[in-house]
Amino acid sequence: MKKRGFICKTVCFTLLAACTAMALTGCGEEKEGGTITFTNVSYDPTREFYEAYNELFAEHYKETTGSGIELVQSHGGSGSQARSVIEGNDADVVTLALAHDITAIENAGLIEEGWMEEFERNSSPYTSTIVFLVHSGNEKEINDWDDLIKEGVEIITPDPKSSGGACWNFLAAWQYAKTTFGGDEEKMKEFVSKLYHNVLVMDSGARGATTTFVENGQGDVLIAWENEALLTLQEYPGEYELVTPGISILAEPSVAVVDENADKNGTQEVAKEYLNYLYSEEAQRMAGKYYYRPSDETVLQEFADTFDLSVNLCTIDDFGGWDQAYEDFFADDAVFDEIYAAQ
C-alpha cells in the first residue's frame, strides 16, 4: 500500500510539474491583454541607469497609453549579449556598448538596415568616455597614459576579447600612442604592449574589472568608463580619485529596435517609444545623473561640473568605424593578440 502511494505521488508530481511548466511558458501571451512584457538587452554598466529609466518610462507609458508595461532587463558583456540575441534571446530593443555589436545582429537579419539613422545622433542617446580611477592620493602619480607603462604600476582593465568597454580602453590608449609617436607603428605597438603587460587582472567584463579594483582591492589604476568611475566615487566617497587623461575617446553606446522580435511580439510601437523617450529632457537628465554624458547639448551643460568637458576626444570614425577597428585590432591574430603575445 505504502509503495503504491509512492508511485501515485510520483505520477501526480510529474503531471503537476508539467502543468506548471506549461503555465509558465504561456505567461507571455496571456498577459498581453493588460500588461505587456518588454525586454531590453543591454550591457553591464547600464544596470543602475536602466533600472531607474524603466520606472520613468513605465510611468510615462501609463500616462500616455493608460496600460501597464513590465520591463525585463538583461545585462552582460556587450558582445555576448549581442550573440544571445542572434541565438534567440527575445529582445525587443538592444542598448549595447558599441555599434559593432548591433551590426552583428543586423547581419544576422534581426535588425533592419539603417538602424543608425533611426534615432537621433547616430542612435546614441548618451555617450561616455574612458578615464582612470586611482586610489586616493594617487601615490603612483598617474596623470596620463604614459604613466601607465611605468614599472610597478598595476593596471586593471577588462579583456577586449570579451568586453566592449575594454575595446574602447584599448583604442583610447592607441590614440594616445598615435599622437605621441606620430604614427610610428612599431613604437605605438611597443607602447600598448608595455601597457598591457602591466595589466594585473583582466576580467571578462567592465563590471568584473570594477569589482576587482574596488571591492577586492587589486591594482593601482582602473581604466574605466567615465560613468563607472563616477559611480564608484559616489559609492565610496574619499577613497578614490578620478584622473582624466589628456586624450580619450568618445564612446557612443548605441541603441536599436530588434525588428524581427518586436514585430513578432507586437511591440514595434512601444520599442520606438522606449528608445525615443531616452532623448526626452527627463531621460537625458537622468542619464546625466547616472553619469552618462547626455547627448542633448543643453542638458549636458547642466552637468558641466560633473564631466570634464575640455578633454580631447577622438571618435570611432578616426579608426574607420567599428567594423574596421574590430578587424584591425581585436580579431584573432590582429594587433591586440600581437602586442599581448610579445615579450
Partner 1 sequence: MEERSSKIAKWCLIGISVAFFLLMLIVPLFEVLYRALADGLEAYGTALGAKTTLSALKVTLLATVIAVVVNTVFGLIASWLVTKFDFRGKNVLSTLIDIPFSISPVIAGLAYIMTFGRTGWAKPLLDGINEALGTDIALVFSVPAVVLATIFVTFPFISREIIPLLYAQGRDEEEAAAMMGASGFTIFRKITFPHIRWGLLYGVILCAARAFGEFGAVYAVSKARGKTFTLPLEIDALYMAGSADSITQAFAVSSLLVGMALIMLILKNIVEYRGKRDDL
Partner 2 sequence: MKQAKRKKSIIPGFGMSMGVTVAMLSLLILIPLASVLAYSFRLSGKEFAELLTRPNVVQSFVTSIGCAFVAAVINSIFGVMLAWVLVRYEFPGKRLMDGMIELPFALPTAVAGITLTKMYSDSGVLGRAFEKMGIEIAYTRTGIIIAMIFVGIPFVVRAIQPVLETLSPSYEEAAYMLGASRVNVFWKIIFPEIRPALFTGFGLALARGIGEYGSVIYISGNSEKNGTQVVSYVIMQKLNSGNVDYEGAAAIALVLLIISFSMLFFINIIQHIASRRTNA
Positions in the binding site for partner 1 (CB under 8 A)? 3-4, 6-7, 10, 13-14, 17-18, 20-21, 24-26, 28-29, 37, 39, 41, 44, 47, 72-76, 81, 84, 86-90, 108, 205, 207-208, 210-211, 214-215, 232, 235-236
Nearer to partner 2, 52 or 200 (CB): 200
Please, what is the minimum distance in Å from the beta carbon of residue 3 to partner 1? 6
Q: How far is the CB of 322 from partner 2 (least distance, A)?
A: 9
Residue 179 partner contact from partner 1, partner 2, none using kind-dependent CB cut-offs of 5 to 8 Å: none
> With the CA atoms of 97, 290, 158 and 72 taken in that order, what torsion angle do they form, in degrees rounded to the nearest 10?
-60
DSSP string, 100-124: HHHHHHHHTTSS-TTHHHHSHHHH-
Regarding 204 and contact with partner 2 (CB under 8 A), the answer is yes
Query: Could you tell which of partner 1, partner 2, none binds residue 310, using a CB distance below 5 to 8 A set by kind?
Result: none
Q: Binds 253, which of partner 1, partner 2, none (CB < 5 to 8 A, cut-off by type)? A: none
Question: Is there a contact between 137 and 202 (Cβ–Cβ < 8 Å)?
Answer: no
Cα-to-chain-centroid distance, residue 81: 10
Shortest spacing between CB 190 and partner 1, in angstroms: 33
The beta-strand segments (E) located in the chain are 36-42, 69-74, 93-96, 126-135, 155-156, 199-201, 221-225, 240-243, 247-251, 254-257, 293-294, 312-314
**Which of 212, 232, 284, 295 lies at the binding interface for partner 2 (CB under 8 A)?**
212
Q: How many CB atoms lie within 10 A of CB 199?
A: 19
Helix (H) or strand (E) holding 11, with range, is helix 2-30
- From 44-52, 95-103, 182-190, 220-228, give the range in contact with partner 2 by CB under 8 A: 95-103
Q: Does 82 bind partner 2 (CB under 8 A)?
A: yes
Measured from the CB of residue 121, what is the shortest distance to partner 1 in angstroms?
Answer: 28
Q: How many CB atoms lie within 10 A of CB 10?
A: 10
